[in-house]
Amino acid sequence: MKRLLVMAYNWFACSFVSYSLTYASGDMGKNIYVNFFLSTIVELPTAIFTATILDKTWCGRKRGLTFCLCMSGIFCFGLMAFKPGVKNALKLSIGLGGKMAISAAFSIIYIYSPELFPTIVRNVSLGSLSMIARVGGILAAFAKTSVETSPVAAYLTFGLTGVTSGLFTLMLPETLGTNPPDSFEDLEKEERKRKSVRMKTVKKRLSLFFSKKDSNTEEAELLVESQEEDEL
């Protein structure tokens, strides 16, 4: 249930922020046609960027999605710094940065989501999440009006949606290098194994803290256990 709720909010956020920034592109630069064209074309390099980092152990699905969602929100916060009605290249660049970040998140979430759910419900889960994303798209239709009425409140809403969804992603497991569960039983076994590794890591850290030992051997064991937790 936790995975479903978090991913549902993430899909909503991706759709809402992505379409909102597209609709609000006329508020960023002086030429509305150039703005819209650029907000669309920036999605191409994000596909290359996503394909490059997604299978790297230092990034993976979880870290990549968290980073992209949070960055999209931060760029939206940056748009709040401009006075209402101001349109220049700097504001357009910040808006395009947010669009690139949320587009990358959208690319990652299509790969990450199926890996989180068992095979028997994978299709249904992905279809349900896609349906929830349409709700975000519907609400994004009001982005242009909200930006014209109160740009600070509008960009604050976009930013909070992106950042909170990125933080919620930290609650999910990393799926890079793991086999997707085939059934709910496999999912429960995976969760129990992950909790066991996490508890061992916590106990080890507490033991090191209270004993105040700084042994290189113990630090190496802690590092290995942390890496095992990330791989699960």
pLDDT, mean of residues 155-176:
92
pLDDT band at 132 (very low <50, low <70, confident <90, very high): very high
pLDDT digits (tens, 9 = 90+) for 31-59: 888 888 888 888 888 888 888 888 888 88
What whole-number distance in Å separates Cα of residue 105 and Cα of residue 65?
5
pLDDT digits (tens, 9 = 90+) for 59-90: 888 999 999 999 999 999 999 988 888 888 89
Structure tokens at 84: 């209402």
pLDDT digits (tens, 9 = 90+) for 107-128: 999 999 988 888 888 888 889 9
What is the b/e burial string over 72-110, where b = at least 16 CB atoms within 10 angstroms of the residue's CB?
Answer: bbbbbbbbeebeeeeeeeebbebbbbbbbbbbbbbbbbe
